[in-house]
Amino acid sequence: MVRDIDRRDVLKSVGGAGVVGLAGCITQDGNGGDATPTEGDAGDGDTDGDAETDTPEDSGGESRTINHGVLMPVTGDLASLGGPIRDGAILPAAVLEDADIPVTIELQEEDTQTDPQAGVQAASSFASAGTPSVTGAASSAVSLQVYQQTFIPNGIVGCSPASTSPAITDLDDDDLIYRTCPSDALQGEVMAQVATEELGDSSASVLFLNNDYGQALKDSFVSAYESGDGSVQSEVAFEPEQSSYSSPLSEVMSGDPSLLVVIGYPASGIQIFRDFYADYGTETNIMVTDGLRDSTLPDEVGNDMANVYGTAPLAQGPGQEAFVEQYESEYDRAPGVFNAQAYDATAVCLLANAAAGENDGNAIKEQLRAVANPNDGTEITAANLAEGIRLAAEGEAVYYTGASSSVDFDENGDMTAVTYEYFQYNTDVENNIETVSTIDFQA
C-alpha cells in the first residue's frame, strides 16, 4: 500500500582516529584496464610493467584522478549498520572499475567509530590529503561536528546518506553540505501518523539516545503526536552501550503507556530489548526508527520482537533495480537501510567532480545540483553511471536519478522527494523485517 503525503501538511506542526591515508583505495585506469591494487585491494590484474607510474596523468592523456572520501561508522554503536552503508558508498567505484571512462577513481576510507571526537579526528585526514568531497558521516551527532569543525572550514563537500537531524538543514555551510536521506522533521510526522492511524495508540512514552539524532527525532515525534490526539507521558534519555537499561526502562514505563517509542542504535538496542522483554513482556507496542532497523536484532535479543514496528527511509528511486543487482553481485547479500542513499551520495559527488574537472570542493559544490536535479541533459542512473561520468567530464549536461530517490536537492541540500517504509519485525520472513506499507513524500 502506498500513501501520498503533501509536504506542507506533513511539516505544518514541525516548528580513536580512523585509518590515515588511502586505505582501501579503489582505482581504475582511464582505458578500462586494471590498475595496480593498493592496500585493501584484492585485484589480480596484469602487473607487467611499471603499473604505479603508468597512470593517466603520467601518460599525457586527457584522463585525471577523481578523489573522494567515505566516512562511516564501521565500529561503535552503529557498526552493524555502518559497514553495509560503507559498502554502498564504495560500490560506485567498484562498478566503474572496468569502465571506459577518462578518469581514475581514488577513494579514501575512514572510520568515525560512531563517536563525534573520533569522527572529527578521522575527518582531518581528508583535509590533510586534499580530498574535496566525502560521503558521510552516518550519525547526525558525528556529522554535525565533522561538518562544523572540518568540512566547512576546509571547503570539503559533505554528502550524508544517513544523518537525518533537522539541525543539518540550518547549518551555515557555504552550500557545502548535502544529504541523500530525508530530515527527521518528516520522520517524526510519519511516526505520529503510524502510531495513531495504524497502531491505534493514544498514549506514548519515548526512550531516546542522548545525542543530536535522538533528541531531534524525539522532539519531532512529540510535537506531531501531541498536535493530534496523542498524549506523551514521559521522555527519558539514555546513554549508549550500557550494561543495563533497567533503570531508564522503569522510568519510561512507569505510566503504563500503550506505546513505547525507542530511538537509538543497534549496539544499545540489543541490551534495551533484552531488559525490556525480561521485565515487561510483549503486550506493549514498541515503535523504533531507522537507527534500529537491523535484521539481526531478533537473534541478538533472543525474541521474535513481533510487537516492534518502525519507520525508515525506503529506497524506491528510478535506479533501485540496477543498484540492487550491483550490490548483490558485489557483496552476495541484499542491501539494507541507507545503503542505496550511500550509493547515491558517492555517485552524485563523482559526477559533480567529473563536471567540475578538478578536485576542489568549491568547484564541486557548484556542480552538484547541475548533475542531480532534473534538466535537459541525459538521465543517469546506477545502470549507466559510467556514461554519466564520461559525459560530465566532456562538459555534457546530465542529471542523476538515484537508487534511493530522484536525488533532487533543494536550496538547503536536502531531498525534495523521498519514500518512507512502515515495517514490522517478523521472524517468519526473510531478513526478519516485513514492509507493512510505504508512505511517499513529495515536496
More confident residue, 307 or 51: 307
Cell digits of residue 137: 558521516
More confident residue, 10 or 419: 419
pLDDT band at 26 (very low <50, low <70, confident <90, very high): very low
What whole-number distance in Å separates Cα of residue 443 and Cα of residue 439? 13
Cell digits of residue 280: 515487561
Residue 443 pLDDT: 54
Spatial contact of 177 and 153, defined as CB atoms under 8 Å apart: no
Angle between helices 385-393 and 361-372 (to 10 degrees): 120
Spatial contact of 115 and 76, defined as CB atoms under 8 Å apart: yes
What whole-number distance in Å separates Cα of residue 374 and Cα of residue 376? 7
Strand pairing report for 203-209 and 231-238: parallel
Q: Does residue 146 have a pLDDT over 70? A: yes
Mean predicted confidence (pLDDT) in 52-80:
74
Q: Does residue 29 have a pLDDT over 70? A: no
Of 52, 212, 75, 151, the residue nearest 349 (C-alpha): 151
Strands (E), 225-330: 231-238, 259-263, 285-288, 308-314
Least confident of 20-29, 259-268, 343-352: 20-29
Mean predicted confidence (pLDDT) in 147-153:
98
Tell me the per-residue pLDDT of 200-259, one tens digit each, with 9 for 90 and over: 999 999 999 999 899 999 999 999 999 988 999 999 999 999 999 999 999 999 999 999
Residue 2 pLDDT: 35
What whole-number distance in Å separates Cα of residue 335 and Cα of residue 318? 16
Residue 408 CB contacts under 8 Å (≥ 6 apart), including other chains: 372, 373, 374, 415, 416, 417
pLDDT band at 61 (very low <50, low <70, confident <90, very high): very low
pLDDT band at 4 (very low <50, low <70, confident <90, very high): very low
Mean predicted confidence (pLDDT) in 61-67:
82
Q: Is the dihedral of CA 220, 221, 225, 231 positive or negative?
A: negative
More confident residue, 196 or 2: 196
Least confident of 256-260, 418-422, 424-428: 418-422
Mean predicted confidence (pLDDT) in 180-195:
92
Residue 49 CB contacts under 8 Å (≥ 6 apart), including other chains: none
Three-state DSSP class for residue 433: strand
Residue 62 pLDDT: 61
58-73: b or e for each residue (b if 16 or more CB lie within 10 Å)? Answer: eeeeebbebbbbbbbb
Mean predicted confidence (pLDDT) in 104-114:
97
Residue 27 pLDDT: 33
Residue 12 pLDDT: 28
Cis? peptide before 137, omega within 30° of 0: yes
Residue 418 pLDDT: 86
Please list the helix, strand and coil fractions of the chain in percent, rounded to the nearest 5, in that order: 40, 20, 40
Q: Does residue 19 have a pLDDT over 50? A: no
Mean predicted confidence (pLDDT) in 21-49:
33
Strands (E), 17-93: 64-72
Q: Does residue 14 have a pLDDT over 80? A: no
Provide the β-strand partners of residue 183: none
Mean pLDDT of the chain: 87
Angle between helices 79-95 and 339-356 (to 10 degrees): 40
364: phi then psi, degrees, rounded to nearest 5: -65, -40
Three-state DSSP class for residue 61: coil
Spatial contact of 249 and 279, defined as CB atoms under 8 Å apart: yes
Residue 360 CB contacts under 8 Å (≥ 6 apart), including other chains: 132, 155
Residue 381 CB contacts under 8 Å (≥ 6 apart), including other chains: 317, 318, 319, 322, 400, 401, 402, 403
Tell me the per-residue pLDDT of 311-361, one tens digit each, with 9 for 90 and over: 999 999 999 999 999 999 999 999 999 999 999 999 999 999 999 999 999
Strands (E), 289-360: 308-314
Mean predicted confidence (pLDDT) in 403-422:
94
Residue 440 pLDDT: 85
Tell me the per-residue pLDDT of 289-304, one tens digit each, with 9 for 90 and over: 999 999 999 999 999 9
pLDDT band at 184 (very low <50, low <70, confident <90, very high): confident
Q: What is the value of pTM for the model shown?
A: 0.79
DSSP for 150-203?
Answer: IITTTT-EEEESS---GGGTT---TT-EEESS--HHHHHHHHHHIIIIIS---E
- Structural domains in the chain, CATH included, are 2-9+185-313+419-442 (3.40.50.2300), 16-183+317-417 (3.40.50.2300)
CB atoms under 10 Å from CB of 352, counted, come to 28
